[in-house]
Amino acid sequence: MHYDSCMNFGVSGETVLLSFLLILLGSNKLPEIGQHVAGLVRESRRASPSFRSAPSRLLLLAFAFVALGATSTLAHAQRIDAAVGVSAILAPGASSASSSEYPVSLSGGLYPGLSGDLIFWRNLGIGAELYWRASQGVNYGGSVGVNFRPFFYDFNAVYSPKLANHTYLELVGGLGGLDTRFYECPDYDCNLGYSQGVNSFAHFDVDFGGGVKFYAKRGIFIRPEARYYFILNDTNFSSNHAARVGISIGYTFGAH
């Protein structure tokens, strides 16, 4: 069985995200950031192995940022969104794989996820999101006893103008990665979900897309959405591109 090398930028995603935190919230927020991150790290250590990977840690930091922003003076004048959603991934089938790609499609199964953003200047802001396959894919590329689960994680620029009363457009674009977790299990236990982590391999991606937020009551909104992902050197699957379509339910802190 073939695995690609892990993605390495030389600078950790946690460092980049903390830099954003310091720029937006100011250095006087550093002690508070440290307290929140320390608490999140303690909780993540108790989590299952599936959620101890790099994208999970990055998303925990991203939502620490959202939580801090919600209690800061910045949030009193701007908007912060937090949402949960469910999506499907649309990607070429296994039969379309080239000789350098594994005949495994990213499509199949539901992808739940979390997202959040901060709008801080003239409908412009930043956001983060994480979506993962809810159930493990079985027998990766015909390798009996090896299951897999893809994670998409991205950090985006966000443009969210008002379209009408209780309706906002949301356009996003940014950078992130596709992190694929591989698991090993006995042949007779694969379909029962009994498995242990083996390895995690990630590839850089570029994403863009959008959605429309419809406010139902107060700050509660429903958001149909779509994303397109271009994944660099993704030989773990049958193509280097995929689309995500789904719907999220969320809440907006601040004026809307």
List, as one string, the DSSP characters of 143-200: -TTEEEEEEEEEEEEEE--EEETTEEEEEEEEEEEEEEEEEE--GGGGGGT--EEEEE
DSSP H or E run through 93: none
pLDDT, residue 236, reads: 87
pLDDT category, 9, cuts 50, 70, 90?
Answer: very low
Please state, for a pLDDT cut of 90, what percent of the chain lies above it.
Answer: 42
Q: Is residue 86 classed as helix, strand or coil in its secondary structure?
A: strand
Three-state SS sequence of 4-62: CCCCCCCCCHHHHHHHHHHHHHCHHHHHHHHHHHHHHHHHHHCCCHHHCCHHHHHHHHH
Q: What distance lies between CA 94 and its chain's CA centroid?
A: 24
Is the separation of the CB atoms in 221 and 250 below 8 Å? yes
Instruction: Give the pLDDT score at 217.
Output: 82
Q: What is the pLDDT of residues 60-72, one digit of tens each?
A: 555 555 555 544 4
Residue 172: per-residue pLDDT:
98
Q: Average of pLDDT values for 218-237?
A: 93
Residue 197's pLDDT is: 60
| Residue carrying the six token digits 């992130």 | 176
| Distance in angstroms (rounded) separating the CA atoms of residues 76 and 71 | 8
The set of residues, in sequence order, having a beta carbon less than 8 Å from that of 209 and lying 6+ positions away, is 171, 172, 173, 225, 226, 227, 228, 244
pLDDT at residue 28 in the model? 52
The residue-averaged pLDDT of 212-224 equals 94
In this prediction, residues 139-150 reach a mean pLDDT of 81
Mean pLDDT over 28-48 rounds to 52
Mean pLDDT of 80-94: 94
Please, which pLDDT band fits residue 99 given cuts at 50, 70 and 90?
confident
Give residue 12's pLDDT band: very low, low, confident or very high (50, 70, 90).
very low
Lowest mean pLDDT of 47-56, 132-141, 144-153, 169-178, name the range: 47-56
How much is the mean pLDDT over the chain?
A: 76
Element (H, E) at 239: none
Amino acid letter, residue 225: E
Domains in the chain with CATH codes = 13-253 (2.40.160.20)
Which pLDDT score, from 0 to 100, does residue 55 have? Answer: 53
Distance from C-alpha of 189 to C-alpha of 191, rounded to nearest angstrom: 6
> What angle, rounded to 10 degrees, do the helices at 30-45 and 13-25 form?
140
- The reported pLDDT for the residue numbered 127 is 95
pLDDT of residue 5: 38
Flag whether pLDDT at 190 surpasses 80. Answer: no
